[in-house]
Amino acid sequence: MTQSKSHGALFSFLIITLCFTLSACGAKKTSGAATLEAGIPKALLRSKLVYETAQGVHLQTPGQKSEILVEGAKWPRWRPDGKAIAFLRGEDVCVINPATKEIQILAKTQTPKTLVYSHDGSEIWFSDGKTVKAVSVTDQKERVLVQDGEFLEIDSGPESKSLVATVKSFGYKVKVYNLENDQNRSLGKGCSASFSPDGKYVTNNLDGHQALAIVNVSNGNREKSLPAPGGMLTDNQFWSNHPDWIMSMEEESGHLLAHRFSDGKVWKLSDVSGADRPDLWVP
């Protein structure tokens, strides 16, 4: 009987551990929920939104009709000055000039997953399995930035001296990498890692995707939480080039939401079904 109880306890422990590991984000519950505001906020009427669907990469001014920019592409990310967009198409790391529609292939990755422009716009950083590489946009020279677990999401910090990532290795963690001294540290379990434009904060999707934690990079403390609208679960958050705006996707519909950092208010910027990986550029 003692052996049976021991096996039962071990089985229960393994089940609990497995459930925790499979959950991308888990933390303390956040009380309350945001209200979905009507219309488009005035501050975003001239902004530009890129995102992916099963058809490809789309470009849209909030409140206006979207256009397919590149068919069969995914993971669009704005250059910091808003003049180019990086994306993945098959194994190719590409950029497109949205004004001319000219596409340039800069590199290839065997396991295409995620990319982002460096903070200064001189490189595109992209994952290749358990490695993050950089490719120059001018001469296509490549270099290795960091190696760790499987990189699922990445973002560049100020002056391109740091990198934040969602890393899968025995669960999901948000980690910050100092590229000058080759050191890194975890900011906790979670996902949807991105930097605020000034590099002071990092996003971490917690609470069963009911709230977004804003984590202070210097001390690892949770600065605040931005709750999702009532009844919604949000994912794949990404901080825009503007300090007050963070994008997310609503999991059930794929509608794209803009969260205002200062007060937590939320607006729907796109109602295209199945949209994902949004990035907003604010002039």
Amino acid making up residue 195: F
**Residues contacting 222, CB < 8 A, separation 6+:** 213, 214, 215, 216
For the chain, list the domains and their CATH numbers: 37-281 (2.120.10.30)
183-228 per-position pLDDT tens digit: 999 999 999 999 999 999 999 998 689 999 999 999 999 999 999 9
88-136 per-position pLDDT tens digit: 999 999 999 999 999 999 999 999 999 999 999 999 999 999 999 999 9
Given a cut of 80, is residue 143 above it in pLDDT? yes
- Of 34, 49, 29, 62, the C-alpha closest to 260 is 34
Mean per-residue pLDDT of the chain: 90
Given a cut of 90, is residue 69 above it in pLDDT? yes
> What percentage of the chain carries pLDDT values higher than 70?
89
Given a cut of 60, is residue 171 above it in pLDDT? yes
Residue 250 tokens, joined: 């609503």
Interatomic CA distance for residues 70 and 279, integer angstroms: 15
> What percentage of the chain carries pLDDT values higher than 90?
86
260-278 per-position pLDDT tens digit: 999 999 999 998 889 999 9
Looking at residue 206, what is its pLDDT? 84
pTM as predicted? 0.88
Given a cut of 70, is residue 3 above it in pLDDT? no
